[in-house]
């Protein structure tokens, strides 16, 4: 599933590629890049419109692993969608078998309330969401994409594939990075060899989420944003957030009632999946009280709203300047 620490795990692999290689695990690279290569291969698999062969292909992957006698490791969030598609699984299995490998999927699942909260806030930060959390939930809750059986069913049913599924909360308690390395390397490796580093891609502040939504309302569906432009706008939002001190509080759109309702939607499916995969019940959520801190414009002062609108305008203007510096034509906001 998305939002199960994939950014931190990918950082772990990138930072420790040489150590992993000494342990017989290769993280294939193309033009010196690991994660961009893995993402490109996953995009080729789905025939994604943004796939660019110059970033690496299955053919390049075959060359990168040719003659390697150990295991190989690939990681990209997009694979979590592909393995739900039997045709994609078939292509992956065939590719690895033709290159002398048996596929082993390592997957992480998460309690859906926290998953939705994390995914929404990150997508808002990436300027992909214009609406509030309730609008997002209305479109997402109940969709098959967020059901673990839908995601992992095809690989679990394929005898040519080994599958290890871990629960995110349990893995966090054990140490997320170690939970992955324990599967990849097995027992007996020296943890002191690995650089874990700082956890990345933390949940943003509620004010950052709201400001990002204001910017998204103007640029989504317009000529002001094209592939690769979002970081140009985001860096100005990040600068403002740091200046304002919007850094320590994490967005939460959940309440106890909302979380309970989401859990009920997925309760039966989660339980069946857990019994099938682990032979035991789906782990219970840790006791906690949810208090929504989502910014409510209806309760904000006119001064506060005016400031946020000024910030949004500033972000768009500076983002446009950055785009122009890259050769894009400036576009007036709607």
Q: What is the 3-state secondary structure (H, E, C) of 103-145?
A: EEEEEEECCHHHHHHHHHHHHHHCCCCCCCHHHHHHHHCCCHH
pLDDT at 212: 97
Contacts of 291 (CB under 8 A, 6+ apart): 252, 255
- pLDDT at position 83 is 84
pTM of this prediction?
A: 0.89
Task: Say yes or no to pLDDT of 334 above 70.
Answer: no
Least confident of 174-188, 192-206, 267-281, 306-320: 192-206
| Token representation of residue 194 | 């690995």
- In this prediction, residue 201 carries a pLDDT of 63
Residue 227 above 90 pLDDT?
Answer: no
Indicate the SS3 state at residue 163: strand
What pLDDT was estimated at residue 200? Answer: 62
Q: How confident is the model at residue 183 (pLDDT cuts 50, 70, 90)?
A: very high
Q: Which residue has the higher pLDDT, 41 or 226?
A: 41
- pLDDT score at 330: 52
pLDDT at 24 over 90: yes
User: Which range (121-130, 139-148, 220-229, 266-275) has the least confidence?
Assistant: 220-229
Parse the chain into domains and list their residue ranges.
Answer: 6-193, 206-249+296-325
> Is a pLDDT exceeding 70 seen at residue 199?
no
Q: What is the mean pLDDT of the chain?
A: 91
């Amino acid at each position: 599933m998305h939002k199960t620490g994939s950014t931190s795990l990918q950082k772990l692999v990138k930072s420790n590629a040489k150590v992993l290689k000494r342990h017989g695990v290769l993280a294939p690279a193309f033009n010196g890049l690991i994660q961009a290569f893995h993402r490109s291969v996953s995009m080729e698999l789905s025939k994604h419109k943004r796939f660019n062969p110059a970033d690496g292909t299955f053919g390049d992957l075959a060359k990168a692993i040719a003659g390697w006698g150990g295991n190989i490791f690939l990681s990209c969030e997009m694979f979590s969608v592909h393995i739900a598609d039997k045709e994609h699984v078939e292509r992956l299995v065939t590719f690895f078998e033709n290159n002398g490998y048996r596929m082993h999927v390592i997957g992480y699942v998460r309690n859906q309330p926290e998953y939705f909260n994390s995914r929404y806030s990150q997508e808002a930060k990436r300027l992909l969401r214009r609406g509030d959390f309730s609008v997002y939930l209305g479109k997402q809750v109940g969709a098959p994409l967020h059901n673990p059986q839908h995601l992992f069913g095809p690989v679990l049913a394929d005898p040519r594939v080994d599958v290890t599924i871990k629960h995110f909360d349990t893995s966090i308690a054990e140490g997320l990075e170690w939970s992955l390395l324990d599967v990849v390397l097995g027992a007996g490796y020296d943890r002191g060899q690995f650089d874990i580093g700082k956890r990345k891609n933390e949940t943003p502040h509620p004010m950052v989420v709201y400001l990002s939504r204001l910017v998204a309302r103007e640029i989504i569906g317009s000529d002001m944003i094209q592939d690769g432009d979002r970081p140009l706008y985001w860096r100005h939002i990040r600068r403002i957030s740091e200046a304002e001190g919007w850094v320590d509080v994490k967005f939460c759109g959940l309440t106890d009632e909302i979380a309970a309702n989401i859990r009920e939607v997925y309760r039966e499916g989660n339980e069946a999946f857990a019994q099938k995969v682990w032979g035991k019940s789906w782990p219970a959520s840790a006791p906690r009280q949810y208090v929504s801190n989502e910014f409510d414009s209806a309760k904000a002062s006119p001064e506060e709203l005016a400031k946020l609108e000024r910030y949004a305008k500033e972000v768009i203007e500076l983002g446009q300047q950055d785009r122009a510096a890259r050769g894009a034509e400036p576009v007036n906001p709607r």
